Amino acid sequence: MAENVEDISFNEKTLRYISFFEDITDTEVVDCMDIPEKVIFLVGKGEIEKAIGKRGKNVTKISDAINRNVHIIEYSDDPKELLKNIFYSYDVKGVDIEDKNDVIHGTVEVAPENKARAIGKKGRNLSIARKIMMRHSEISSVSVA
């Protein structure tokens, strides 16, 4: 059933980002996505604090060095946990995963005052969440409630 999960491949630039990130943070990168608005790193379970660094110093150092916004997410092989981690900063109240007409859909419930920010301008955050989920799970549709 895992045939829906996208293959993950990196180009020379993302490989450089991963190597630099791992050198600075002393953590393992599970995935790296270079998208127009930022570079997203998924780090191993339990390594998020180490990756971010005290008072965000690693994020700042990496962001300044590559001249890009950096976002770090803690990886989980549990799709519910991964979705929760992707939307962590929006005060997640719950995650529901269901099969809708042969599409596995994840709904993330966030605090009402954070809903618009969680969705993002033109649904940008939803699109990013969907890409991450398609790379690491069978979920191919994501919404925010």
Q: Edge to edge, what strands does the sheet with 139-144 contain?
A: 92-100, 103-110, 139-144
Q: Catalogue all structural domains in the chain, each as residue range(s) with its CATH number.
A: 8-74 (3.30.300.20), 79-144 (3.30.300.20)
pTM across the whole model: 0.91
Q: How far apart are CA 27 and CA 43, in angstroms?
A: 7
The tens digit of pLDDT for each residue in 64-120 reads: 999 999 999 999 999 999 999 999 999 999 999 999 888 999 999 999 999 999 999
The tens digit of pLDDT for each residue in 116-131 reads: 999 999 999 999 999 9
CB-based contact 59:72 (threshold 8 Å): yes
